[in-house]
């Protein structure tokens, strides 16, 4: 028996490794799945799952929640997350099988296929006059092109008005529940979004991914390198351009993350082929992989401490017995807080203190309560907006801070401020 064949049988089979990854993915998603309270985006998922409609741009998950989950358990914090968790687990084998064909078995752990990115790759690869003429001479290509144009037109008719409506709602203050703070103006804002995205993926993943992409480009795999680069460039460029017009969350960039994971897999795969005299040979790539994973362990542990969200349920439990009938509540995520404070109206907190002043100086002055995120680093929500911070410190008292400490620097503490009614002086007073 040859040495390569013997070595190939010494390690676990890809099927065993994949099964272990699936079990790990299930365990990571199931652990404490229903422990954390809702956050702003989940409130829209809850609303649409209880009343699904075909007009919704993403109807599948809502119909599954309505017809599958709601029939045997309530759509609470656990029920609403079952389907996303299952899809996340199923994504592991699906992306592995796709990646195995693209970059090989060892590197094929994750994959990404975005239509826009593939279109950009096709243009970059085949946009030459001779190639276009040769392709256009084929009947199947002509029919395929017309079909693609018809589908693209249908998608544009369907989704462009939704994008315009989404931007318009944010302009009118109807969209977005987060009290956002991004330093700087244009250019700096976009750079901050990209740096936040890199921070989310972790620097080791990004750097090894870029190195793996460079390896593909230099080692006679330029078409694949170009393909993966297009899958990253198209969605990120589109969203960065949108960010010049309206607020864009870092989470929107995550569909391009598998590109970095793929290329990082290529880097580790190539590293396993380097003979440095170490035995077993897998010791070096395994050590590097562990270093990459360990860099994200503090964040992973922190995720299970606070769910990477603010504890509005805990705030509501503390606030409810202290509220008066006429009290007014403001919060940057009003729908979430109102969900845990039934019977009370919660208004949207923004950077302008004028609505707070009006609430305190109305015909029937009432105690004002403000629930706001504690100041954090530049990538996170912060009440340091315009004159809001100074007004709160001048007119209100900090009454409570709720949250769980994290091991990384993303702290998610909520602060509760109590603002007593303003003293109004009568015009006839001496």
Tell me the pLDDT of the chain averaged across its residues. Answer: 77
CB 415 within 8 A of CB 373: yes
362 to 349, 354, 365: CA distances (angstroms):
18, 12, 5
Confidence of residue 155 (pLDDT cuts 50, 70, 90): low
Q: What is the pLDDT of residues 410-427, one digit of tens each?
A: 788 899 999 887 644 333
Give the whole-angstrom CA distance, residue 36 versus residue 8. Answer: 45
Instruction: Check pLDDT > 90 for residue 341.
Output: yes
Q: What is the pLDDT of residue 132?
A: 61
Instruction: Check pLDDT > 50 for residue 6.
Output: no
Which residue has better confidence, 205 or 115? 205
Q: What is the pLDDT of residue 365?
A: 63
Provide the token pair at 363: 């015909």
- Type and span of the H or E element at 58: none
Output the DSSP codes for 2-40: -HHHHHHHHSPPHHHHHHHHHHHHHHHHHTTTTTSPP-H
Q: What is the pLDDT of residue 103?
A: 64
Q: What is the pLDDT of residue 311?
A: 92
Instruction: Check pLDDT > 80 for residue 379.
Output: no
Q: What is the pLDDT of residues 59-104, one digit of tens each?
A: 788 888 889 999 999 999 899 999 988 888 888 887 777 777 666 6
Q: What is the pLDDT of residue 329?
A: 93
Q: What is the pLDDT of residue 260?
A: 87
Alpha-helical (H) ranges within 31-114 are 40-50, 59-64, 82-103
Lowest mean pLDDT among 184-193, 216-225, 371-380: 371-380
Q: What is the pLDDT of residues 355-366, one digit of tens each?
A: 888 877 765 667
Compute φ and ψ for 346, nearest 5 degrees. -115, 125
Count Cβ atoms within 10 A of the Cβ of residue 333 and give its class: 0-12 exposed, 13-18 middle, 19 or more buried. buried
Q: What is the pLDDT of residues 246-286, one digit of tens each?
A: 777 787 888 888 888 888 888 888 888 777 777 777 788 88
Q: What is the pLDDT of residue 167?
A: 64
Instruction: Check pLDDT > 60 for residue 175.
Output: no
Give the whole-angstrom CA distance, residue 226 versus residue 246. Answer: 30
Provide the token pair at 28: 């990571």
Q: Residues near 153 by Cβ (< 8 Å), separated by ≥ 6?
A: none
Which pairing describes strands 368-373 and 328-331: parallel, antiparallel, or unpaired? parallel
Q: What is the pLDDT of residues 29-52, one digit of tens each?
A: 888 888 889 888 888 889 888 888
Mean pLDDT of 288-313: 86
Q: What is the pLDDT of residue 429?
A: 37
Q: What is the pLDDT of residues 131-154, one digit of tens each?
A: 666 666 777 767 777 777 787 777
Q: What is the pLDDT of residue 267?
A: 86
Which residue has better confidence, 109 or 105? 105
Which residue has better confidence, 384 or 271? 271
Q: Where in the chain is the domain with CATH 3.40.190?
A: 312-419
Instruction: Check pLDDT > 70 for residue 339.
Output: yes
Provide the token pair at 385: 């907006």
Mean pLDDT of 326-336: 90
Which residue has better confidence, 368 or 160? 368
User: CATH number for the 312-419 domain, one of 3.40.50, 3.60.21, 3.40.190, 1.10.3470?
Assistant: 3.40.190
Residue that is written with structure tokens 């994973």 in the block: 293
Confidence of residue 377 (pLDDT cuts 50, 70, 90): low
| CA Rg value for the chain | 26
CB 111 within 8 A of CB 102: yes
Residue that is written with structure tokens 């699906």 in the block: 94
Compute φ and ψ for 386, nearest 5 degrees. 50, -125
């Amino acid at each position: 028996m040859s040495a390569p064949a013997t070595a190939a049988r010494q390690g676990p089979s890809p099927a065993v490794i994949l099964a272990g990854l699936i079990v790990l993915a299930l365990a990571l998603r199931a652990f404490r799945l229903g422990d954390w309270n809702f956050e702003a985006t989940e409130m829209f998922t809850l609303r649409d799952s209880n009343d699904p409609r075909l007009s919704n741009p993403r109807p599948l998950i809502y119909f599954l929640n309505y017809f599958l989950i709601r029939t045997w358990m309530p759509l609470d914090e656990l029920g609403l997350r079952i389907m996303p968790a299952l899809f996340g687990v199923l994504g592991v084998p699906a992306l592995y099988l796709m990646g195995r064909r693209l970059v090989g078995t060892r590197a094929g752990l994750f994959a990404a296929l975005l239509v826009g990115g593939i279109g950009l790759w096709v243009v970059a690869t085949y946009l030459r006059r001779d190639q276009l003429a040769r392709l256009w001479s084929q009947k199947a290509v002509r029919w395929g092109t017309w079909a693609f144009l018809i589908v693209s037109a249908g998608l544009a008719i369907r989704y462009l008005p939704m994008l315009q409506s989404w931007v318009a709602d944010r302009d009118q203050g109807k969209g977005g529940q987060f009290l956002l703070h991004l330093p700087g103006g244009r250019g700096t804002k976009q750079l901050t979004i990209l740096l936040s995205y890199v921070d989310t993926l972790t620097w080791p993943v990004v750097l090894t991914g870029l190195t793996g992409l460079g390896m593909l480009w230099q080692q006679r795999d330029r078409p694949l390198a170009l393909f993966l680069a297009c899958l990253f460039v198209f969605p990120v460029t589109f969203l960065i351009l949108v960010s010049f017009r309206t607020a864009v969350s870092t989470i929107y960039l995550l569909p391009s993350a598998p590109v970095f994971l793929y290329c990082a897999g290529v880097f580790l795969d190539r590293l396993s082929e380097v003979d440095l005299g170490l035995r077993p040979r897998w010791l070096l790539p395994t050590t590097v992989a562990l270093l990459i994973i360990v860099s994200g362990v503090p964040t992973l542990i922190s995720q299970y401490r606070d769910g990477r969200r603010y504890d509005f349920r805990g705030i509501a439990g503390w606030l409810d017995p202290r509220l008066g009938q006429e009290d007014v509540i403001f919060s940057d995520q009003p729908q979430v807080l109102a969900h845990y404070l039934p019977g009370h109206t919660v208004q949207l907190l923004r950077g302008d203190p004028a609505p707070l002043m009006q609430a305190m100086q109305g015909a029937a002055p009432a105690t004002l309560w403000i629930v706001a995120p504690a100041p954090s680093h530049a990538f996170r929500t912060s009440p340091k907006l315009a004159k809001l911070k100074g007004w709160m410190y001048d007119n209100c008292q900090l009454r409570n801070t709720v949250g769980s400490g994290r091991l990384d620097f993303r702290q998610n503490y909520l602060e509760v401020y109590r603002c007593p009614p303003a003293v109004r002086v009568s015009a006839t007073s001496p």
